[in-house]
Amino acid sequence: MSLHVAIQMDPIDKLDVIGDTSFALGLEAQERGHHLWYYTPDQLSYEEGQISACGQPLTLYDNPDKFFKTGALEQRQLHDMDVILMRQDPPFDMAYITATHLLEMLPAGTFVVNNPAEVRNAPEKLLVTHFADLMPPTMISRDLSVIRGFRLKHKDIIIKPLFGNGGAGVFRLQPDDQNLNALLEMFFSQNREPIMVQAYLPEVRKGDKRIILVDGLPVGAINRIPKDGEARSNLHVGGAAHHVELTERDHYICERIGPELKQRGLLFVGIDVIGDYLTEINVTSPTGIREIHRFTGKNCAARLWEVVEDNLVHHYTNGSVYPVPKRNS
């Protein structure tokens, strides 16, 4: 079965293909005989009940010196696509939210991964709070007195913006650090959202595990170890990827959250685990599968496409909705 696949993503010429997950997903689709088409979120449009985009046919090459070729720009109705991968990076702002609303208008015959309504309802640092017993001590607030009280209780803390990515804007405040007020002033002068504050986990020095789940089941993992003098382990800020095996606790965490992810139609998810604690559930544009493939040989992209293809076969043969939550149409 050859599918027409649209990838909604950031400008392709800016990708670091050695580690880029969107590239890996597209490359695997192409190797399976599917036809790729690419557009950026700002090319998405609504007009008289129809959702379209101005994009280009796309060919990918697993060569960092020449990794893509695009065809002529064309306006296409997105209901003609079999699959749309929603893969632009956060920030999770109103532009991102608007894109989820537009994609949600597509008929059920176009399979959007991940389910746009649930991407909107489950930002990474908020969905995880549904599993508070798996998390480190955490609070979300703009109330200065409440934040100061949390710090007084836990001493060593991490401050994060709620809707950032790649480790941007993440700070560690040790007990003797006097910059709390200045940091909060900076955060709150730039946006109106609360912030997330968590107790610092010393186990992060041993690594921050990224586990990829497909259709609610773990398919691979890497360990990201922060460089010396850095509290953040994100690969974007210099964290180093290392091979890792899942522990009994990791499997337990996946078993707890997997059914919820599956029920929401969140097929492709990356979770972050430090020590015994779940810290984030990434649903917008999770990364890490190129590193997992290099260290373990596991092909997370292939597993995702197996699930997508099976869902579409079910739809075409039974004339029914996918066995994932149907979007409003």
Catalytic positions, please? 125, 160, 210, 224, 232, 272, 280, 282
157 and 151 in contact (C-beta within 8 Å)?
A: yes
Q: Which two tokens stand for residue 199?
A: 């107790």
Q: Note whether 180 and 173 are within 8 A (CB).
A: yes
Residue with tokens 């010429």: 13
Q: Do the beta carbons of residue 216 and residue 262 sit within 8 Å?
A: yes
Question: CB within 8 A of 251, min separation 6: which ones?
Answer: 218
* Total residues belonging to the chain: 329
CA distance 139 to 258: 24
Instruction: Specify whether the backbone of 254 is left (phi greater than 0), alpha (psi in -120 to 50) or beta.
Output: alpha
Per the CB < 8 A criterion, the answer to whether 74 and 55 are in contact is yes
- Tell me the C-alpha distance between 14 and 22, whole Å: 12
Q: Are 301 and 27 in contact (CB under 8 A)?
A: yes
Residue 112, SS3?
strand
The DSSP letter of residue 203 is G
Report the amino acid identity of residue 238.
G
- Measured CA to CA, the distance from residue 233 to residue 226 in angstroms comes to 4
